[in-house]
Amino acid sequence: MPQPLNLADVEEAAVTAASAWLALVDGGNHAGSWQSAAAISRNAVAQDQWAAQIAAARAPLGKAVSRNLKSKALMTELPNAPEGHYVVLQFETDFADAAGKIETVTPMLDPDGQWRVSGYYIQ
């Protein structure tokens, strides 16, 4: 089992990683979002498939207009994921064509000690 971390110690790094990753997605740089994603994600999904999935999810919503962090949770276990250090972040996001969406972005601590996004979901 991973060693416990204090949320206060990792929160800034996880939010910074998520924000940088979201900036890539917001800018349409889906290939870049794959390149900067967690190793587990890059190993699970090919870059072109990743880019297509992100583009398909985001295209109907339009440009992101505002995004506010609503919740964060430090986790060591997630469904269908190996044990590790994760921070599940939820943002309330208004898009040009869809207001009040919830984006769930999950940075994880990669083996090299860097926080990188391992999951993204919009509801």
The domain that holds 46 is classified in CATH as: 3.10.450.100
Task: Give me the number of domains the chain comprises.
Answer: 1
Is 2 domain-assigned?
no
Q: How many helices (H) and strands (E) does the chain have?
A: 4, 4
CA distance 7 to 82: 19
CA distance 63 to 3: 39
Distance of CA 2 to the CA centre of its chain: 20
CA distance 107 to 35: 14
| Mean of all residue pLDDT scores within the chain | 93
Is 1 domain-assigned?
no
Query: Residue 94 pairs with which residues in a beta bridge?
Result: 66
Residue pLDDT, tens place only, 68-117:
999 999 988 999 889 999 999 999 999 999 999 999 999 999 999 999 99
What is the reported pLDDT for 10? 82
Confidence of residue 2 (pLDDT cuts 50, 70, 90): low
Is 35 domain-assigned?
yes
Is 107 domain-assigned?
yes
- For residue 53, give its domain range: 7-122
Q: What is the pTM of this model?
A: 0.90
CA distance 122 to 98: 11
Is 40 domain-assigned?
yes
